[in-house]
Amino acid sequence: MKAFRLSVCLSVSLLLAGSIVGCQDFKLLPSKLLRSQSPDKQDEDSEKSGNTDKDDEQDNEFETKVETPMVGDYAGFANLNLVTLEGVGLVVGLDGTGGDPPPSSAREILADDMRRRGIDDPETILRSPNTALVIVRAYLPPMIRKGEAFDVDVRVPEGDTTTSLNGGWLLETELSESALVVGQVMKGHILAKAKGPIMVTSGEGKSDNTGLKRRGKILGGGASKKDRDLRIQLRSDFRSVRQSKRIADKIGQRFFAYNESGLREPLAKALTDQTIELKVLPRYRDNYPRYREVIRNIAFRETPVARHVRMDKLKLQLLDPDKTETAALQLEAIGNDAIPILRTGLKHPDLEVRFNSAVALAYLGQAEAVQVLGEAAVQERAFRVYALAALSTVDDGEAHLLLRKLTNAQTDNDGKTTDSAELRYGAFRALWTLDKRDPYLNGEMMKDPKVDRELFALHTLPTTGEPIIHLTQHRRSEIVLFGDEQRFKTPMAVRAGNHILVTAQPGTDRIVISKYQTGQPDKRKEVSTRVAEVIRTAVEFGASYPDVAQLLLQAAKQQNLTGRMEIDALPQGGREFVRKDAAKSDGKKVRVGNANLAPNFVPNLKDDGNSTPADGEAVEKQTAAPDELAQSEADSNGTASVADARKTSSADDTDRRWFEFWKRN
């Protein structure tokens, strides 16, 4: 009997043990094999029931993965190309250096445009020696907003008798893409307009090189008529409506804005199974390359436990100079939860660690990054452009005060003075980007006394250090005087354009500004030698930005300035610095960033505006099909369309008055 009971107990024990083992083996089977319906069907049901947020935990049910998949592993960016725009325009205000353009399609296009604007006799205007037909070309940059300005190039076509564009003004010209269709040039949608004074050979309009005088640039002369948003393209082997929406949701959880009703709206929106439209958070507007890098480092699939483990790992990597840049980007992509970790990096003895931590904190809106960014901008040229770009996003009184300070010559604790033009002007540009109305900028817009239009901005800063006069030849017509009491040295004899003469006798503290132009009364005015006063008077006499630039450049060449002249003195990306190694005496060179992907708050000075951008500068490798990318810049059908006739606007009325004025003269 006892043997029977023992046999029964043993059998039951073995049965229970087998059941437990069987259940354990069964549990280890992949969960997808246990589903009673297809994966696609379950995905659809999950989306309908609102359980898409649980996808991360379902995909990572049995283990914590430290190697988290990122958005950049599955997608790339599109719509980063520069869109080439062209148009045919009319330049007026030439001093007998224009000409009658030969018969061509460009002449027909311009004549038709003039008739549409209400000009009854365009041929008479085109034959005038004071006008010239020009081909207008511009490159519409990525991420530009409607109404934002960009540079425009103009040139006289081959076979035209025009000898110089010096002193000319381009009337409003429509710019569009062009397409060759069955041997004909078809105009696409009008994407921008252009107008303004033409700068020839950096303002020195009397150059003997005739070829240079037949082309020029209009700084900030173009104005976009549309927004260009970024687009994210999913990998072909990953594309699906579900995955596109998941990535858009992940980005939208990190980057969002509030509409006029106060409702939260994600900045990423899935358009198709492969394309996501992405708007830029205002804080990254002047550094969209960093915005892209942060989005690439957003976790695509990660559980809370895995995220906690990854953050612990990033905390260690942040303090390692070899890994600090990537770690800071990933922490910035995590968002506010990573701020405590980034703050620890501000106290690290290595400048590179402090710098990367401060940049990430600045883009997270943390003012404690300001002092470290200022330190990096002063001490390391390779960090300078990125530090200034980050400072331009911190809307805090401390950032304002620091940027003001950086416009002066800097003295360190050892008494060594650093008087860097690119640091001083870079700080000015960062402050202007941060707050254009900051009273320290002391800006005034110079306007044409005859026509209500803006010519250029003049800023006079009460700075310490060597006096500097700074001119721009990219994006914005602007003159900055570092030292508000700068004066010209005498004797002096320079020109501002074709008709304005600026002279001073030896040993005098007075300057005479005269204007002589055929058919108009002579003008003469005596002013002090203060540079700002001379500039204002020259504008009062009709000088444009190129004319004033010519005046200042000639004065610098003749040593009439008390300080030095600088042009586009801006820090650039892609510089090298020496990373110090405690175990070695020399260290190693490390490149910071990329010259072609520097913050867009500074222009890429490699593009002089007179040549087609290099492939590396114009286009990033695209992942979408060519027809899809081409379609994004055309109309809804992906084909070019002829622009329709428009109603007359106030701008047209202004141009009509200009046409009539030059027709009479």
| Structure token digits, residue 615 | 């492939």
The token duo for 437 is 């109305």
d(CA 477, CA 108): 32
The 3-class SS string of 474-516 reads CCCCEEEEECCCCEECCCEEEEECCCEEEEECCCCCEEEEEEC
Q: Are 194 and 87 in contact (CB under 8 A)?
A: yes
- Give the C-alpha separation, 281 to 370, whole Å: 20
Q: What pLDDT, on a 0 to 100 scale, did the predictor assign at position 604?
A: 65
**Percentages of the chain per state (helix, strand, coil), in multiples of 5:** 40, 25, 40
Q: In what order do the strands lie in the sheet with 75-78?
A: 75-78, 230-234, 275-278, 268-270
Check: CB of residue 118 under 8 Å from CB of residue 652. Answer: yes
Quote the CA–CA distance of 451 and 657 in Å, as a whole number.
10
Buried b (16+ CB within 10 A) or exposed e, 616-630: ebbebebbbeeebbe
- Residue 525 parent element (H or E): strand 523-528
CA torsion, ordered 382, 383, 388, 391, to nearest 10 deg: 180
Per-residue 3-state assignment (H helix, E strand, C coil) for 588-644: EEEECCCHHHCCCCCCCCCCCCCCCCCHHHHCCCCCCCHHHHHHHCCCCCCCCCCCC
DSSP state of 90: E
pLDDT value at residue 622: 30
Q: Which two tokens stand for residue 35?
A: 């589903």
* Residue spans of the chain under pLDDT 70: 1-66, 179-187, 201-211, 413, 581-586, 604-665
Q: What is the pLDDT of residue 58?
A: 46
- The answer to whether the CB of 275 falls within 8 A of the CB of 232 is yes
465's CB contacts (< 8 A; 6+ apart) are 408, 409, 417, 419, 424, 482, 483
